[in-house]
Structures are given as structure tokens and as C-alpha cells.
Structure 1
Amino acid sequence: MMMNTPDRTGLTPTDWLCLSFLSDIGPSRLSRLYTYLSQLYAEASSESLSLFDPSDDKNNALNCSVDPKSHLSFELLRKLKWPEVTARQAMAYLSQGELTKEQAEKRDASLTWLSKETHFMILQDHEAYPDALKEIKVAPAFLYVEGHLDALLSSKIGIVGARKCTRHGRDATFQLADQLSSHGIGVVSGGAMGIDTAAHQGALQSNSTPTVAVMGTGLLHRYPSQNRSLFEKIVERGALISEYPLTTSPRPHLFPPRNRIISGLSMGVLVAEASLKSGSLISASYAIQQNRDVFALPGRLTDAQSAGCHQLIRQGATLVRHLDDILDEYTDRLQPESAEGKSCSSVAQGHIVSNVIQGVPETASEDARTVATILEEHQKNEAASMDFDALVHHSHLSAGTLMQVLMELELCSCIENREGHYRRC
């Protein structure tokens, strides 16, 4: 749905829609124009208010100067680094409504799509446009949204990682996304296979805070096709969003730029699994540029799929062992955890203490089940925690294997570690 009235830039949503179809345009040039016109409006409005005099015959001319659209020209667009052909097409449209046949078809297809109840195009001055996203260097002039606009308003953590992920990475991501969502933190990711899919699925599993997928295509071309059913579930409770025209088909160069939107929407970005050459590290780079927190999930020392995460940790990213490693960064911005919360570690000013022992997930390894049972039986008999050496003795696992098992159990909130002593929770 779309209201076709001019915003502070003097252009209507349809104008912005048509400008996005021009040759060699791209989101960055649209963003540059939107920023320029918005600043021009703000400056002109401020000057008009300070100089306003109802008895002055020049009042009408003064008010006209507040309309940024009246300042648009071919020369201005060229100064904003628009290519010559793009600038000429833009002025032909803005002055005479001229579009090529292909551009007119794209406009008509887009307006048809926008006529549906859960389809939106929101400019930066729309109340649903996230404030956090306005802060980034190249904020999209507008977003296409399919689903629920309120999904954009919650506090969010971005989760990114490898498409070809390991079982450990997938399971840990699912569990953390489930827990984050249960704590009222929205999960935003890119809708790709692997870690992205696990993140969205985990958030949906919680059936609480909506998840948002930032697409690297137009919303008329949902990609990848293997995730069609996942996208439908996201739309039912959350939102799919894109800065690209609706008819934009998948192209490799379109995916990296959308990572700046994932980080831009988020308080912080968790890299769940990434090799040294993973595109997920682009999201971490954007997060640093945007002054967002960076979190990394460690993996096995010999696992190349986690080498990028280990590098981030060495560079200062927060190592994530369990949910509280993320929550502790935002205690001043988030509500204290409710009794239904799934974390057994400290949150905000106190501890959640429960006599109910959380079941071990079906996806847990046999070694994890064994260690969980040992801790559970030990607590029943002696009501005490066990240290690492005691667990090595009782489980007959090597120290390296046990470390991985304990991390697995911590990530699914089945155990807690208090100064090297472990107990079931």
C-alpha cells in the first residue's frame, strides 16, 4: 500500500519509484539525491520560519523556495555524480513524465504489487522506517516491505554466516536466534541458505518477536527458491525487505551491498560461522563502520569454516558462548528477562533460578547427552556442580572433545558455567 503524496523532498513515492528504474542509477545515487533534497528542505524551512512576515508581499516566493523539487536540474544531478545519461533521463521524467516502455512496464507492475494490503514502499520520513538505518552512510532512500511494518521497529541483532555451514554452526545459530527472539530481540538476516536460514527458523520457532529478511533481489524474485516456504512463514509474522526495484533478478554483485542494511538495522551483528574469505565478514566490516557491536561464535580450532570468526575474536569481537554474552551488552536498552526466558545465566541485576531442568535438544550429539546426564545425576545425588577434571573422569572423553561438548550444551542453555564449575539448568 502506498500514499502518493510528496514528502519533504518534494517528490512523490511514484517519482522515487520511477527514478529507481533509470539507467545506471543504483541505491547510492538515489540515497545521495534524497539526502541532498532533505537537507535543502530543512535549511529552507528553517530560513522561511525565521524570515516569515505575513505582511510581506514576498512571502509567497519565500514559501516556494521550500520546495526542493524546484531546485532539481540536470546540472545539479551531475554535481551529485549522476552519469550524464541518467541525469537526462531523470529530468525528462520529472519535467515531462517521460519513461521508456520498459520503465513504464516496471512502474505499472510495481504499482500493482503495492496495491496489496501487506505490500509497502516506505520513504525515510515514514514512521516505520527504522531510525537506526537512517544513521548509516548510504541509507536507502526507500524500502520495499512485504509483511508487517511493525517488524521493523523492534531492537534487532543481525546474524550472518556461511551458506555451506556445519551442523554445529547451524544448530548453535538456531538456538541463539530462538533465545534472542524469546527475549524480545528481533533477528535480521539475509534469507540465504545455511546460517541465514537457521537464524530465521530459530526466530520463527520462538513464535514471539518477528524476524526480518533483507533480500538481495527485488521482492518479486525471492531468492533462493529453496527457501520459498521459509519466506512465506516470515511474511506471516515478520517482513521481507529490499532496496532494489521489485523486478530485480538475482545477480552476484547485488548481495554484498545489502549487508550494510542488515548491520544498519541491528544493535550488533553475530557472525555465526565464516571462513577467512567469507562474504559474512563484509557484514562485520559494515558493523564496525556503523559503530555497531560485533559478536563471533567460535568453532573447532581445525575447522576452516570458523577461521573467520576466530580472526574477528582476535581483532576484538565479543566471543559468544551463550546468550548472555550478547544480552549483557544491552542491559541498559532491554527489559529484564522474564521468568519464561530460556537463559540460565545472569541477566541485568539478578539471576533466574529454576528447578525445572531444560531438556537436551534432539539435535544434540550423543556426547552432549552423556555429559548432560552425568551432571543431572550428580546434582540429584550431591546437589553440587562439577569441575572440568571431574567431567573428564566421569565421561571418559578427551579434554578437547569435552570442551566442544560443554560449549554445545551452553549454547542450548542446558548447562551453566560458574568459574569453571558446571551444572545442569
Structure 2
Amino acid sequence: MAQDISARELHARLCLHATPQIGPQRFQLLLNHFSSAEAALAASTSAWLQLGLPEQCKTLSQSNEVLQKAEAALKWAEHPLHHLILHDSLDYPALLSETHAAPAVLFVEGNPKALAMPQLAIVGSRNATPTNKQTAYHFAKTLAAAGCAITSGLASGIDTAAHQGALKAGGCTLAVVGTGLWHTYPKSNHALREQIAQSSGALVSEFCLDVSPIAANFPKRNRIISGLSLGVLVVEAGLASGSLITARYAAEQNRDVFAIPGSIHYPGSKGCHQLLRDGAVLVECVQDILGAWQHWLSTPIHDSEPKPAETAPCALLALLQSNPMGNDELAQQLQLDMPTVLQQLTELELDGKIYTKAGLWHYLPKKSS
């Protein structure tokens, strides 16, 4: 549950954590000054004012609403899969503890040991293309099979694909959410959330259990995604994407930043291209990430996707001789991953055997001599 402190001190810390206007920095200020949360709550309002805290903070810290939140957290933590991890606990993830404004309390549902694993964050657009979702899935699956935990934010699009890829490999994935753990956002990911909690992974939040989805909280959780991880991979992102916030936190926290390039004509690639201009590492395959990470992994790195048969380009060509098709339909018909299909399409196009028009690939018959 939490470290070995008294029940009164744990309750006091949860009260401080639940008090509006007391974030991680003010929480730590109070703890350092008064030596304990219990002593901080017992101190006078004037003592708080001398620390530069608003009078309202002291009043709210003893409100019925705050007390109810603390008691709800203690009740919640009685479940065997529910854990409260305090900032000075031995179970608190070491990498996250080094970051600026590290959360004072982490609510963890699932396996708390997952937080100590070497992690790669995979993030990107909620409205990602099928190709980029497949790329995120493939990277996550391969990396998870190699012993790297996959961390993301449980959002639609790239986040969902990354979590699913790690689970498919039987690996570990962590979902750092921007709500309290009584909520699931988006609701469409309820089944995925349950799968993560019941696996070797975990759901992680710094917010009180009843906190509903609020736009301002999602950028805050991004610092935890990067803070837990050795590096962040951005698969797809526009210039206004929240994924760039995660990447910025990663750079500030001295983590690796990786980005996958895309078409210069696609707005969803512009964020990745900006990261590359700012010094992110260009990534085209899993080995680009893990070349320097091998000593952190429990098993050798290998591509988790089956290698295409040598005759696979012929099968692709045969399909296009029948009808023009798009990338997704070809991948489905051939039962191949998208990167493999795109590689074969490029080879055939360079050989002058196919061409693309209006989003479809067409067979190009040989000219008779």
C-alpha cells in the first residue's frame, strides 16, 4: 500500500495532497518545514502564511471535502490491486523522483513493480492514420517482447495501439492517465484499461480518485509519462499535439527523444519533423532505439513480426493485377504488417511494376516491344 508510516501520517499526507492549490512543490515545502504532514495540518494559519501559502489553502486542508477524499483513498487502497506510493517511499520510481515537481502521491492500479522497469514511452496523435497506429503497435510489441515496458497515456490512436502491442507480446505496459482512477477516459478504452490492470502492467495517476477528465490535467500527466521513461518515441504528431509537450518534458528531464518521420504533405508529420530539427533521433526501425539500450533488456532484440516470404512481393503484385487497392486493404489481404507492405510497394514502384493514383496502387503492365 504505502511505506511504513503511521496511519495518522498517511491520512494527513492524503489530506495535503487533496487540498486545492497544494501541488507537489508546496506539498514538499510543507513536509520539509514541519517534518511531517500531520504537524503541517496542526500548525497555525500564520505559520502557513509565513511560508508564502495562501490563507485559503490552510482552510481548505481541513474541509469535509478534503477529508472525504483522503478517506476514500484509504478505503480504495484496501484492494489488493490498489496501491498508494508516496514520494519518499522505497517503491517510488527512481527516475520519476529525480524530475521537477514529481508527484507527492501516486495512485497505482495493477502491478506496482512495473514502475521500476526500463520503459519507453510511445505517444502520438489521437486521430492517427491506420499506418501509424500499426507502426506504434509493431514497435510496442517488439520492444515489450525484448523486456522493455511500454508507457503511454491510454488515449485513442497511437496510445491505444502502443498498449495493445505490448499486451499482444505478453509484455508490460503502463497507462499514465489524466483523471482519477475512478474514471476511464476515453470510455471506449474501458476494456483495455481492465486488461492492463489485470496483466503485469499498471494504471498510474497523481490525481485524486474522483477527478474527472479536465483538459488542463492531461499536459500535467505528460511529465509523468516522460519522467518514468528512459526515452519517448513520437510516432505521429501535428504541431499542436500534446505529444510535443511530452517530448519537451523528456528533453528537460534529460531523456532520449525519438521521432518517426512522415510525408512532408501530411500535417500529422509536422510535429515529428519539428522534433527532428530540434535534435530528436530519427527512427526507422526498432534497432534505432535499442542500440544503446541493450544492457537494460532481459532478452535479445529481435523483430517480433514474421519475416515476409521471398515470394510475398509476387503475391502483392498478383493482387494488384486483379484490382487497384490501398495500403490497408493490401495489408489485410496479405496478412502482413504495414511496414512490410510499404517496403514491398516501394520496391515494386522502383522496379516500374506499379504506380499510385488517387490513393490506390495500380499494376503497370509491361510495354510490348
Gaps of at least 5 residues in structure 2 are 313-325, 360-369
Structure 1 position 103, deviation (Å): 2.5
Identity %: 40
Q: Would you say the 8 A contact 1:173–1:195 is kept in 2?
A: yes
Instruction: Report what 1:20 is aligned to.
Output: 17
Gaps of at least 5 residues in structure 1 are 42-66, 91-98, 345-355, 377-385, 402-425
What is the root-mean-square deviation of aligned Cα atoms in Å?
3.3
Instruction: Report what 1:61 is aligned to.
Output: none
Deviations 1:274-302 (A, max 9, x none): 00111110001100110001000112221
Instruction: Report what 2:354 is aligned to.
Output: 396
Q: Would you say the 8 A contact 2:9–2:37 is kept in 1?
A: no
1:131 is the counterpart of 2:94: yes
Q: What is the identity, as a one-letter code, of the residue corresponding to 1:105?
A: Q
The higher-RCO structure (CA 8 Å, 6+ apart) is 2
Structure 1 position 109, deviation (Å): 2.1
Q: In 2 relative to 1, CA 69–114 (structure 1 residues): closer, same or farther, beyond 3 Å?
A: closer
Instruction: Report what 1:87 is aligned to.
Output: 58
Number of residue pairs the alignment of both structures matches: 334
Instruction: Report what 2:103 is aligned to.
Output: 140
Q: What is the identity, as a one-letter code, of the residue corresponding to 1:191?
A: L
Q: In 2 relative to 1, CA 367–315 (structure 1 residues): closer, same or farther, beyond 3 Å?
A: farther
Structure 1 position 336, deviation (Å): 5.9
SS at the partner of 1:122?
strand
State the TM-score, normalizing by the size of structure 1: 0.70
Q: Would you say the 8 A contact 1:267–1:293 is kept in 2?
A: yes
Structure 1 position 87, deviation (Å): 3.0
State the TM-score, normalizing by the size of structure 2: 0.80
1:154 is the counterpart of 2:117: yes
SS at the partner of 1:188?
strand
Q: In 2 relative to 1, CA 171–81 (structure 1 residues): closer, same or farther, beyond 3 Å?
A: farther
Instruction: Report what 1:62 is aligned to.
Output: none
Question: Which whole-Å CA distance do the structure 2 matches of 1:395 and 1:126 have between them?
Answer: 62
Structure 1 position 69, deviation (Å): 6.3
Instruction: Report what 1:57 is aligned to.
Output: none
The structure with the larger Rg is 1
Question: Which whole-Å CA distance do the structure 1 matches of 2:38 and 2:211 have between them?
Answer: 27
SS at the partner of 2:18?
coil
Decide which of 270, 278, 282 is 1:319's aligned counterpart. 282
1:294 is the counterpart of 2:257: yes
Structure 1 position 70, deviation (Å): 5.5
Q: Would you say the 8 A contact 1:27–1:244 is kept in 2?
A: no
Decide which of 244, 248, 251 is 1:285's aligned counterpart. 248
Q: In 2 relative to 1, CA 81–231 (structure 1 residues): closer, same or farther, beyond 3 Å?
A: farther
Deviations 1:46-94 (A, max 9, x none): xxxxxxxxxxxxxxxxxxxxx796686645544544222103444xxxx
Instruction: Report what 1:351 is aligned to.
Output: none
Question: Which whole-Å CA distance do the structure 2 matches of 1:366 and 1:69 have between them?
Answer: 62
Q: In 2 relative to 1, CA 389–108 (structure 1 residues): closer, same or farther, beyond 3 Å?
A: closer
Decide which of 212, 218, 231 is 2:193's aligned counterpart. 231
1:211 is the counterpart of 2:173: yes
Q: In 2 relative to 1, CA 24–170 (structure 1 residues): closer, same or farther, beyond 3 Å?
A: same
Q: What is the identity, as a one-letter code, of the residue corresponding to 1:193?
A: S
